Amino acid sequence: MKPTLRPGIRHQHVFRVPVSKTVPALYPESDDFAAMPEVFATGFLVGFLEWACILAIKPHLDGPQELTLGTHIDVSHEAATPPGLEVTATVELLAVDGRKLTFAVEAHDGLDVIARGRHERFVVNRDKFDQKLTAKRTARMA
């Protein structure tokens, strides 16, 4: 982590919602999801908020070996957004506690606040993380 990784970092990220990010597309294997309205899916919204946090801190990490992984999300999904609308995520790094990063997150679709909450990420070393995954795969196969 670079010394510039400090609370107060803010970022906005804009995304136009395609049909492929609506509820029926979330789990096409599920008839229940397929029967839902075509609105921005909560699962994809969470990923969008994570994306904005990743972009906010990317210049402050020692990449490509250092990256962050989401570990906790506490977000409301307050309004439906149909495909075609642009959503804007606004994120702010609130705290850096060792490798733990805490963000305030919010998203707006031009008409409504559609989400707000908090998100935590941990800074990890890619090689060490990959080694743990390999060990887990090996243990599963044994």
Nearest to 4 by CA among 90, 62, 50: 62
pLDDT at position 141 is 79
Catalytic-labelled residue, pool 11, 13, 60, 77: 77
Q: Is the pLDDT of residue 142 over 80?
A: no
Angle at 73 between CA 70 and CA 77, to 5 degrees: 130
Catalytic-labelled residue, pool 38, 42, 92, 102: 42
Please confirm, yes or no, whether 92 is among the known catalytic residues: no
Contact 103, 121 (CB under 8 A): yes
Spans of all domains in the chain: 10-141
Q: Select 10-141's CATH number: 3.10.129.10, 1.10.10.10, 3.30.1280.10, 3.40.50.2000.
A: 3.10.129.10
Model confidence at 139, pLDDT cuts 50, 70, 90, reads: confident
Tell me how crowded residue 85 is: count the other CB atoms within 10 A of its CB: 16
Please confirm, yes or no, whether 38 is among the known catalytic residues: no
Please confirm, yes or no, whether 42 is among the known catalytic residues: yes
Q: Is the pLDDT of residue 53 over 80?
A: yes
> What is the overall mean pLDDT for the chain?
96
Catalytic-labelled residue, pool 11, 22, 50, 106: 50
pLDDT at position 63 is 82
- 57-95 residue pLDDT tens: 999 999 889 999 999 999 999 999 999 999 999 999 999
Which DSSP category does 18 fall into?
A: P
pTM above 0.85, yes or no: yes
